[in-house]
């Protein structure tokens, strides 16, 4: 059978069927359909074919007939022309009598990648001594002591306050009332400017002041709006930090010495920095792979990927309990703008996927049975007990899950090689 190669990894062929072939296929289609249709007076699967024909819509019967005609033809075409379709073929009727069909296959796009642009420089990961000191200061703060004073509040004092807030109309704002609330002056835990307003206040004093609510405030209508806070000071306490010495390290931190604890903090920050650096380099590498990949991607593949992206977005919006229209307003985008964004995301996903695939092929990346088993064990360790047996059977059948984990293992191995 002739096959025409088209742009964007498409292949197309035209098929013509004689009247006799169509009639034979139609009878088979009717036989199959009568096992699914209930007709009064007959057991399912035993009604006369003409009665079945009367109950089936002509379009449905034609669809089933075409399916019957192509049942053996499609696999033969794929084998004869060594096709690797990534979507079911698109079938279009060109002519009904005699029946002529157009069959379009969409294969995995061919990609080229500029490997020379995939070197991601390393940055130093040694933690700054100032960051080490911040951790130690935070630990010391947890062991801060305080004693009540009768003077005006200053930085590093701890205050106990009652407060509530009102809007421009003088109505109390829900969620902004607290009693016996403790605040450390200078900790910056409250709204910007709040702690500054407490400086100089003494026990028993009251003060009202206006601040701007944050853009992420829970009540959407009040975001970025002014709120007047009404504060009553209950106590002012002077705070004291313990000395960071060997005695403190042994008693409170279960460490042999202050210097040993500092070394532990430094080592922990070092590992954290290495992890962040690895994530940064990996993200930059993935971006570099995507932008260095060139491929002509069929519209059908982009549409399929877009459907997946839209579903993800819809599910996320549902979890946030926002309807799609409000979600778009929140993003400040029209439906058309969002669709263009989704299409770009779909194209980017395909380019990244194809680029990685090209690199796997170029660098001849494979995974051994041991590496694959490690990937399987890691996956199964995160599967809930009730679902583990099902996952094991799926892996043993070498189905979709098996191929997905094998792909992930090759991707991780490729990225590791490029990040060396």
State the total domains in the chain: 3
Q: What is the mean pLDDT of the chain?
A: 93
Buried b or exposed e, range 269-305, using 16+ CB within 10 angstroms: beeebeeeeeeebbeebbebbbebbebebbebbbeeb
* Domain at 58, CATH number: 3.30.70.1050
Q: Do 165 and 236 belong together in one domain?
A: yes
CA 361 to CA 94: how far, in whole Å? Answer: 39
Is 410 a member of any domain?
yes
**Burial environment of residue 150 by CB neighbours within 10 A (0 to 12, 13 to 18, 19 or more):** exposed
pLDDT tens-place string over residues 362-382: 999 999 999 999 999 999 999
Last residue of a domain, one of 215, 240, 265: 240
Is 16 a member of any domain?
yes
In this structure, of 41-50, 228-237, 344-353, the range with the lowest mean pLDDT score is 41-50
Query: In sequence order, which residues have a C-beta less than 8 Å from that of residue 328 and are 6 or more positions away?
Result: 334, 335, 338
Is 282 a member of any domain?
no
Residue in this structure with the two tokens 């049975």, named with its chain if needed? 369
CA 329 to CA 331: how far, in whole Å? Answer: 5
Is 311 a member of any domain?
no
> Confidence class of residue 415 from pLDDT cuts 50, 70 and 90?
very high
Q: Is the pLDDT of residue 1 over 80?
A: no
Is 321 a member of any domain?
no
- C-beta separation of 311 from 324 below 8 A: no
% of the chain with per-residue pLDDT over 90: 84
Position 47 scores a pLDDT of 86
* Domain at 232, CATH number: 3.10.50.40
CA 189 to CA 178: how far, in whole Å? Answer: 15
Last residue of a domain, one of 240, 275, 302: 240
Last residue of a domain, one of 189, 217, 240: 240
Q: Do 83 and 163 belong together in one domain?
A: no
Q: Is the pLDDT of residue 22 over 80?
A: yes
Q: What is the pTM of this model?
A: 0.76
Structural domain range at position 410: 363-420
CA 339 to CA 303: how far, in whole Å? Answer: 11
Is 305 a member of any domain?
no
Position 306 scores a pLDDT of 96
Q: Do 149 and 235 belong together in one domain?
A: yes
Q: Is the pLDDT of residue 289 over 80?
A: yes
Q: Is the pLDDT of residue 386 over 90?
A: no
């Amino acid at each position: 059978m002739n096959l025409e190669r088209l742009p964007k990894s498409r292949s197309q062929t035209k098929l013509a069927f004689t009247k006799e072939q169509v009639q034979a296929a139609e009878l088979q289609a009717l036989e199959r359909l009568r096992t699914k249709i209930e007709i009064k007076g007959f057991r399912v699967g035993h009604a006369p074919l003409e009665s079945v024909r009367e109950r089936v819509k002509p379009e449905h019967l034609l669809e089933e007939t075409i399916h019957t005609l192509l049942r053996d033809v499609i696999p033969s075409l794929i084998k004869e022309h060594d096709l690797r379709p990534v979507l079911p073929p698109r079938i279009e009727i060109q002519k009904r009598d005699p029946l002529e069909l157009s069959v379009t296959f969409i294969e995995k796009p061919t990609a080229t990648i500029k490997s020379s642009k995939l070197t991601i420089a390393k940055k130093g990961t040694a933690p700054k001594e100032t960051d080490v000191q911040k951790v130690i200061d935070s630990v010391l703060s947890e062991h801060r002591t305080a004693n009540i004073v009768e003077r005006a509040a200053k930085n590093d004092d701890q205050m106990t306050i009652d407060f509530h807030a009102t809007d421009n109309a003088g109505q109390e704002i829900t969620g902004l009332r607290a009693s016996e609330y403790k605040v450390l002056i200078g900790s910056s835990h409250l709204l910007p400017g709040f702690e500054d307003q407490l400086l100089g206040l003494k026990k028993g004093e009251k003060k009202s002041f206006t601040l701007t609510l944050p853009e992420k405030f829970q009540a959407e209508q009040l975001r970025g709006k002014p709120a007047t806070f009404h504060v009553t000071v209950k106590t002012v306490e002077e705070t004291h930090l313990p000395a960071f010495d060997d005695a403190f390290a042994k008693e409170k931190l279960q460490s042999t010495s202050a210097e040993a604890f500092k070394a532990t903090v430094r080592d922990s920050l070092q590992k954290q920095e290495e992890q962040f650096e690895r994530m940064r380099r990996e993200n930059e590498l993935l971006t570099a792979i995507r932008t260095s990949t060139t491929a002509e991607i069929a519209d059908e593949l982009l549409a399929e990927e877009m459907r997946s992206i839209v579903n993800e977005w819809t599910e996320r919006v549902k979890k946030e309990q926002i309807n799609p229209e409000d979600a778009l307003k929140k993003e400040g985008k029209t439906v058309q703008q969002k669709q263009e964004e989704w299409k770009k995301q779909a194209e980017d996903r395909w380019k990244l996927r194809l680029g990685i695939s090209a690199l796997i092929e170029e660098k001849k990346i494979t995974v051994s049975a041991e590496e694959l088993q490690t990937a399987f064990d890691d996956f199964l360790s995160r599967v809930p007990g009730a679902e583990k047996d099902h996952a094991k059977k799926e892996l043993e059948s070498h189905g979709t899950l098996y191929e997905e984990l094998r792909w992930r293992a090759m991707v991780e191995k490729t990225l590791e090689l490029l990040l060396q």
